Amino acid sequence: MKRLILATRNTHKVTELRAILADAGLGPEAIELVGADAYPEIPDVKETGVTFAENALLKAHTLARATGHPAVADDSGLCVDVLGGAPGIFSARWAGRHGDDKANLDLLLAQLADIADEHRGAHFACAAALALPDGTERVVEGRLTGTLRHTPVGTGGFGYDPVLQPDGETRTCAELTPEQKNAISHRGKAFRALAPLVRELLG
């Protein structure tokens, strides 16, 4: 069985990607998907790129070279229209410390406190990359557009999910079931587009 490394130690992302790839015909019977925590000796990759695609490729190539296995990585974030696309690649560390979801959310809502509903457009963006140990690479992107709520709603998901209400929805991403979210999410779209490339390159 082929092993595919997911370049993250975020268990939410590993679970989410397993479900997305399984829906695309790459279930556990076809491919063994493991997170980067299976390789604790490999240090975290510094995200020095200036785009989602650059960061995703950087992480995927680093893991592929270090493990000798194909690796997939994503870089994703929230892009707010009135903030000129910020937080963008800084989404996970918007409040200054990487991965503090509550602090990031609180800061963003404070920055947008006086912004009227009609100007609260935003989208989640995701670049998903596949890298092989020989340097072969592929990258695709996905997007989920919506509007930002004034207060967080819902307990599912993570990150900025409780404040983004997707277009055509009355609920936030955090109120959707994992299956509903995967069907429309930026990450779901990107990894579904990547799945046939994984199948092609891994045979």
| Class of residue 97 by CB neighbours under 10 A (exposed 0-12, middle 13-18, buried 19+) | exposed
Among 37, 44, 75, 134, which one carries the catalytic annotation? 75
Domain locations in the chain as residue ranges: 2-202
Helix (H, G, I), strand (E, B) or coil at 120: coil
The pTM of this model reads 0.90
Beta bridge partners of 74: 128
Q: Cα-flanking dihedrals φ and ψ of residue 111, to 5°?
A: -65, -30
The 10s digit of each residue's pLDDT in 2-38 is 899 998 888 877 887 888 788 777 888 878 889 998 9
Whether the pLDDT of residue 176 is over 90: the answer is yes
The 10s digit of each residue's pLDDT in 49-81 is 999 999 999 999 999 999 999 999 999 999 999
Under CATH, what is the fold of the domain 2-202?
Maf protein (3.90.950)
75 is catalytic: yes
- Name the amino acid, one letter, at 138: R
